[in-house]
A and B are shown apart, each in its own frame.
Chain A
Amino acid sequence: MQKVLDLIIEKIIFICAIASIIFVILIFSFLFKEGLSFFKNYEVSKFIGGHFWYPSSDPASFGILSLIVGSVLVTLGACAIAVPIGIMTALFISEIVPKGARDVLKSLVELMAAIPSVVIGFVGMITLVPLVKSIFSLPTGLTAFSGSIMLAFMAIPTIVTISEDAIRSVPRHYKQGALALGATKWQTLRRIVLKAAMPGIIAAVMLGISRVIGETMAVMMITGNAAHIPHSIFEPVRTMTATIAAEMGETVRSGMHYKSLFAIGLVLFLITFLINFIADLFLGKNKNT
């Protein structure tokens, strides 16, 4: 009796384990199904390479190039801020501050990660946006630049946490060897520790990028949502995620516009899939050393 019960439970456990695979396949196939029926009526090259996103005019135009450029611009901007600050903060927390303060700082970073993106978007909207507008005397403060700054604060916790783990998992004797040879602590940190932790840090950066590129609410509130190809970072842009979130409510279910949003979702899914896959490779590499 007990044996039979054990066996049933073990089967249930196994089914739960494959649930993740099922969900990934389901997500992909749903996006793919809707995307495919969109691409039957609209060429892939016109979709990816088209400059104009006029989904509800007649004839409609579904070019997402400006949305891709928007996403990439905001992401690059956020990375330019978050990557150096994130890595330096990770170094600071893991190597410089005393142990007690380290735990407090790590908890603080973890709390930062929990702040909802609408809240970040809202604060950005009322503080940063007018500031950007007046400092750079722009017609509007809702720009890719403002979006990048706010998104950087969402990427920093991810980058700090994962890089800090990588830095701390560098074997102690690497450091002691260098210090014994008369290198200063900073030289050791820069030349030995940073190098050894590099795969983990790269993974941290990748995961940070993946978080930024998939971020929706804050960008929608701050970047201005203008679907055109920007000439500089101080212009409004519209990202892929914001497009989906803003327009899904207005679409006719199963219409072309509806399907085109799934097609954007598919593009996003593939991009993040690739980034996470690469990050995972680097994380695996970090564990082996």
Chain B
Amino acid sequence: MIKLNPKLSQKFSYTLLCLAAIFAIVPVLLMVFIIIKNGASAISWEFLSSMPKDGMRGGGILPAIIGTLSIVSCAIIVTLPIGVCAAIYLNEYAKDNIFTRIIKLAIVNLAGVPSVVYGLFGLGIFVMFLKLGVSIIAGALTLSIMELPVIITTAKSALNSVPYYFREASLSLGVSRWQTIRYVVLPNAIPGILTGAILSIARISGETAPILFTAVAFYVPHLPHSIFDQVMALPYHLYIISTQIPNMPKDVIYGTALVLLMMVLTMSCVAIFARIYFRKRRKW
């Protein structure tokens, strides 16, 4: 084999790395571009605010938007307090023992369970066992368990970024541990916790498999009245109109994909910018 000049081999390798990065990122940008280009024409106020017509081939996607929003907001209401409390326990109270290690292992494993398995679990426990039926609440509870490890991990790192000496200063004044957490640690961790929560909301808005058997229906002719109703949801709606309905107008599919994509990306962007903003403003 020819021994390459080290300088030359460096140049070659850097080019290769750059190509890899291009290959990783550009196709995804292209995907987003394709959806925007083909979907933009379908977007109108009517599309966003009316019920589907002609077996989904016309009209709007309002029930799917409302459905997704209601499932996701219920899910975050359930998962955020539990996740933040668990993070507080792990970061502030937990001692380094077997019990803590088991909790951490459990969190790692929850994070790795495939989304469709969460769907099975939700079907088994919420829909069948607790007899909630296929409903917003059953889907939301399923998603909330799925999102719990993400919330715990981000909340924990937000708590961890508050320097230890603030806690010492408060404790040395005779303030109790919980009061120290409540009035010194939490206020300074809130920005981090919230950006994590927004990222989670974005992520679960796009999830389909966990709500497939727990919350969604092919078509519901009215908007949900309560959390015990079945609903339509954007990701599932996109799935059925792109695979199950023959002669579906392409622009409606693209339009639906665009709405879903924008919803998810906007929320993620907000979270990312908020994180940058708060990091810059941080005083310690």
Residues of A within 8 A of B (CB): 2-3, 6, 9-10, 12-21, 23-24, 26-27, 30-31, 34, 84-86, 88-89, 91-93, 96, 103, 105, 107-123, 125, 127, 153, 156, 160, 184-187, 190, 207, 210, 213-217, 221, 241, 244-245, 248-249, 253, 261-262, 265, 268-269, 272-273, 275-277, 279-280
When the two chains form their complex, are residues A88 and B17 in contact, meaning their CB atoms are under 8 A apart? yes
When the two chains form their complex, are residues A276 and B112 in contact, meaning their CB atoms are under 8 A apart? yes
Check: B41 CB closer than 8 A to any chain A CB: no
Closest Cβ–Cβ distance, residue A246 to chain B (whole Å): 10
Closest Cβ–Cβ distance, residue B61 to chain A (whole Å): 14
Write out the residue numbers on chain B whose beta carbons fall within 8 Å of the beta carbon of A92: 17-18, 20-21
Closest 8 CB pairs between A and B? A116-B206, A214-B114, A16-B85, A88-B20, A276-B112, A17-B89, A186-B10, A216-B209
Check: B115 CB closer than 8 A to any chain A CB: yes
Write out the residue numbers on chain A whose beta carbons fall within 8 Å of the beta carbon of B81: 16
How many Å lie between the Cα of A108 and that of B235 in the bound state? 22
Check: B207 CB closer than 8 A to any chain A CB: yes
Set A2, A89, A268: member contacting B24, Cβ < 8 A: A89
How many Å lie between the Cα of A265 and that of B212 in the bound state? 15
Check: B2 CB closer than 8 A to any chain A CB: no
- Give the contact-size bracket for chain B: 35 or more
Name which residue of chain A comes closest to B264, CB basis. A114
Binding-face segment, B48-56, B122-130, B224-232: B122-130
Set B18, B35, B109, B264: member contacting A273, Cβ < 8 A: B109
**Scoring B residues 82 to 95 as 1 if CB is less than 8 Å from chain A, else 0, what string do you get?**
11011011100110
Write out the residue numbers on chain B whose beta carbons fall within 8 Å of the beta carbon of A119: 31, 35, 206, 235, 238, 257, 260-261
Set A6, A13, A127, A248: member contacting B89, Cβ < 8 A: A13
When the two chains form their complex, are residues B125 and A84 in contact, meaning their CB atoms are under 8 A apart? no
Closest Cβ–Cβ distance, residue A98 to chain B (whole Å): 13
How many Å lie between the Cα of A10 and that of B86 in the bound state? 11
**Scoring B residues 183 to 202 as 1 if CB is less than 8 Å from chain A, else 0, what string do you get?**
00000000000000001001
Interface class of chain B by DSSP: helix
Name which residue of chain B comes closest to A17, CB basis. B89
A-B contact pairs, 18 of them (CB 8 A): A10-B178, A20-B110, A27-B121, A88-B17, A89-B25, A115-B28, A115-B206, A116-B261, A116-B264, A118-B208, A119-B235, A122-B238, A122-B253, A214-B113, A214-B115, A273-B112, A276-B111, A280-B105
Closest Cβ–Cβ distance, residue B76 to chain A (whole Å): 15
A23-B148, A115-B261 known; A16 and B27 CB under 8 Å?
no
Check: B203 CB closer than 8 A to any chain A CB: yes
When the two chains form their complex, are residues B242 and A122 in contact, meaning their CB atoms are under 8 A apart? yes
When the two chains form their complex, are residues A84 and B20 in contact, meaning their CB atoms are under 8 A apart? yes
Closest Cβ–Cβ distance, residue A49 to chain B (whole Å): 22
Name which residue of chain B comes closest to A26, CB basis. B125
How many Å lie between the Cα of A6 and that of B93 in the bound state? 13
A13-B93, A24-B106, A117-B206 known; A86 and B35 CB under 8 Å?
no
When the two chains form their complex, are residues B178 and A17 in contact, meaning their CB atoms are under 8 A apart? no
Residues facing A in B21-38 (CB within 8 A) are 21, 23-25, 27-28, 31-32, 34-35
How many Å lie between the Cα of A245 and that of B116 in the bound state? 7
Closest Cβ–Cβ distance, residue B191 to chain A (whole Å): 17
When the two chains form their complex, are residues B103 and A114 in contact, meaning their CB atoms are under 8 A apart? no
Besides A109-B25, A122-B238, A215-B115, 18 other CB < 8 A contacts? A14-B89, A16-B86, A20-B152, A84-B20, A93-B21, A105-B25, A111-B269, A114-B199, A116-B205, A116-B235, A119-B238, A121-B239, A186-B6, A186-B14, A213-B114, A214-B113, A245-B212, A277-B109
Write out the residue numbers on chain B whose beta carbons fall within 8 Å of the beta carbon of A156: 24
Closest Cβ–Cβ distance, residue B251 to chain A (whole Å): 12
Write out the residue numbers on chain B whose beta carbons fall within 8 Å of the beta carbon of A88: 16-17, 20-21
Set B9, B116, B128: member contacting A241, Cβ < 8 A: B116
When the two chains form their complex, are residues B103 and A20 in contact, meaning their CB atoms are under 8 A apart? yes
Write out the residue numbers on chain B whose beta carbons fall within 8 Å of the beta carbon of A89: 17, 20-21, 24-25
When the two chains form their complex, are residues A20 and B148 in contact, meaning their CB atoms are under 8 A apart? yes
When the two chains form their complex, are residues A120 and B7 in contact, meaning their CB atoms are under 8 A apart? no
When the two chains form their complex, are residues B179 and A91 in contact, meaning their CB atoms are under 8 A apart? no
When the two chains form their complex, are residues B123 and A248 in contact, meaning their CB atoms are under 8 A apart? yes
How many Å lie between the Cα of A54 and that of B207 in the bound state? 29
Closest Cβ–Cβ distance, residue A119 to chain B (whole Å): 5
Closest Cβ–Cβ distance, residue B25 to chain A (whole Å): 6
